Each structure stands twice: as C-alpha cells, then as structure tokens.
C-alpha cells in the first residue's frame, strides 16, 4: 500500500465548488469590514488631525480593542450576533481594521505640507474642496499603506472564525486537522495567501491610478 500523498489532487477536483464558496465567503467577511472601517476612519482621522486632543484618546481605545484576542471577541459576540453568522466575525474585524486605518489617515493628512494648504486657501478653495482636491490625494500613499496592512490582516483573521462556526477558508484547517488529512489544510493556506496577495495587488494598482504624479516621477528618465 503506497504512502498517502501530501496533496490529493482528486479531492481538490471533487470539492472545487465548495472551495470556491469558502473562498468567496472568506473574501466577503474580510473585505467588507475593511471597507466599513475605511469609511469610519476618514472622519475620525480628519477629526484627529483638526483636533489633536481627540486623537490620543481615540487611538488609545482602538489599541486596546486591537490587543483583544480575536477568538475571545468572537465568543463574547455570539449572544448578540448569533453562532455561525457573518456578523460575529465581521464586527470585530471592522474594529481591528479601524485601529490600523485611523492612524494611517491622520499620518497621511499630517504629511500634507503647510505651504500646499496655504496655496489652496489663497486660490479660494473651501475647506471641503481643499480636503477632497488637495489633502486626500496627497495622503493617499500613506492611507493605502495602512489599508494594505488592514486588508491582509483581515483576510488572515477570518479563518479564526471557523472555531465559532463561520470562518471561510478556516473551515479547511479544522476539517483537515480532525481527519488528519493534510490536503484541506494546504489548500486553505494557499487560498488565504492567494486572496491576501490578490487584494494587496489590487490596492497597489489603485494607488498607481490615484497617484499618477508619483508614477510619472518614478518613470521619468534620469
């Protein structure tokens, strides 16, 4: 009797539809919280930039939330959001992403040179127009750097949710461990890495589209 192979390709072929469903579920539970956190981080970061006294307490609270073990938070939320629901996983991931994105937004807005702001004011820009047309575009590289970290972390943390009944590709880790069958574990790891890599590449592409001046500067001949 031959030795069991590390990867059973026939198993992957038979379960292809299930694997795609798990991948899609993982993507939704990872990316929706990041998008929600970004929408919350923009006004919070702007408030922290304009009123620095608010920034430190806000970051302190978010750092405490970020330090909480994800599994413990999932379990605490079960009575509120229910067992094996997406919300049980997505709510904590939103706050984890928020803890990364608020400092990124503040640092990005703080990187805008004062003379650029003054020039915009001298040209008659309203505060809102100055924010949208001047400050946020300049802050994009710093904000997207934080967004990339938050996104990759979120894709990975979703798998912990499998321990409370909803974890996307994390289900494969539990299934493989319980059956002492390595193929699901390897496929799950590969899926998480591929999903995180694809999301990161999309964000890199978005940065290139949103900052054409930076691309032109790097591509200019010496």
Residue environment code for 57-90, b if the CB has 16+ CB neighbours within 10 A, otherwise e: ebbeebeeebeeebeebbeebeeebeeebbebbb
What would the mean pLDDT of 73-97 be, rounded to a whole number?
90
Q: Is residue 155 part of a domain?
A: yes
CATH, residue 179:
1.10.3720.10
Q: 71 or 144: whose pLDDT is higher?
A: 144
Q: Is residue 156 part of a domain?
A: yes
**Helix ranges (DSSP H) in 5-135:** 9-14, 16-50, 52-67, 70-81, 86-110, 114-122, 127-130
Asked which of 10-14, 126-130, 192-196 is least confident by mean pLDDT, the reply is: 126-130
Q: Is residue 80 part of a domain?
A: yes
Q: Is residue 217 part of a domain?
A: no
In this predicted structure, the answer to whether residue 130 has a pLDDT above a threshold of 70 is yes
Write out pLDDT tens, residues 197-221. 999 999 999 988 888 766 655 555 5
Write out pLDDT tens, residues 23-53. 999 999 999 999 999 999 999 999 888 887 8
Dist. CA 65–CA 15, nearest whole Å: 37
Domain enclosing residue 155, as ranges: 9-211
Q: What is the model's pLDDT at position 20? A: 96
What would the mean pLDDT of 157-180 be, rounded to a whole number?
91
Q: Is residue 178 part of a domain?
A: yes
Q: What is the model's pLDDT at position 221? A: 55
In this predicted structure, the answer to whether residue 155 has a pLDDT above a threshold of 90 is yes
Residues 195 and 151: beta-carbon distance below 8 Å: no
Mean pLDDT of the chain: 89
**pLDDT range class, residue 184, cuts 50, 70, 90:** very high
What would the mean pLDDT of 102-122 be, rounded to a whole number?
90
Q: 216 or 159: whose pLDDT is higher?
A: 159
Q: What is the model's pLDDT at position 219? A: 56
Q: 133 or 183: whose pLDDT is higher?
A: 183
Q: Is residue 26 part of a domain?
A: yes
Q: C-alpha dihedral over 159, 164, 168, 174, to 10 degrees?
A: 70
Q: What is the model's pLDDT at position 188? A: 96
Q: Is residue 50 part of a domain?
A: yes
Q: What is the model's pLDDT at position 39? A: 96
In this predicted structure, the answer to whether residue 144 has a pLDDT above a threshold of 80 is yes
Q: What is the model's pLDDT at position 1? A: 42
Give 177-185's long-range contacts (Cβ < 8 A, gap of 24+). Answer: 181/8, 182/6, 182/7, 183/6, 183/7, 183/8, 183/11, 183/12, 184/11
Query: Closest by alpha carbon to 164, among 93, 97, 70, 32?
Result: 70
Q: Is residue 219 part of a domain?
A: no
Q: What is the model's pLDDT at position 54? A: 82
Count how many domains the chain has: 1
């Amino acid at each position: 009797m031959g030795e069991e192979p590390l990867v059973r390709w026939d198993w992957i072929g038979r379960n292809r539809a299930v694997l795609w469903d798990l991948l899609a579920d993982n993507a939704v539970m990872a990316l929706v919280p990041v998008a929600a956190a970004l929408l919350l981080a923009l006004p919070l970061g702007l408030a922290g930039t304009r009123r620095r006294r608010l920034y430190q307490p806000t970051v302190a609270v978010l750092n405490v939330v970020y330090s909480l073990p994800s599994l413990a938070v999932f379990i605490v939320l079960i009575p509120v959001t229910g067992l094996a629901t997406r919300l049980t996983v997505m709510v904590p991931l939103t706050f984890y992403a928020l803890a990364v994105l608020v400092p990124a937004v503040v640092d990005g807005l703080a990187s805008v040179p004062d003379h650029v702001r003054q020039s915009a004011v001298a040209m008659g820009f309203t505060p809102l127009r100055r924010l949208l047309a001047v400050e946020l575009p300049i802050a994009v590289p710093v904000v997207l750097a934080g967004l990339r970290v938050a996104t990759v972390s979120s894709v990975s943390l979703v798998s912990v949710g499998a321990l409370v009944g909803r974890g996307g590709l994390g289900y494969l880790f539990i299934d493989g461990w319980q059956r002492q069958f390595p193929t699901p574990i390897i496929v799950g790891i590969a899926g998480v890495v591929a999903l995180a890599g694809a999301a990161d590449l999309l964000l890199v592409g978005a940065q290139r589209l949103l900052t054409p001046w930076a691309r032109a500067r790097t591509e200019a001949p010496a």
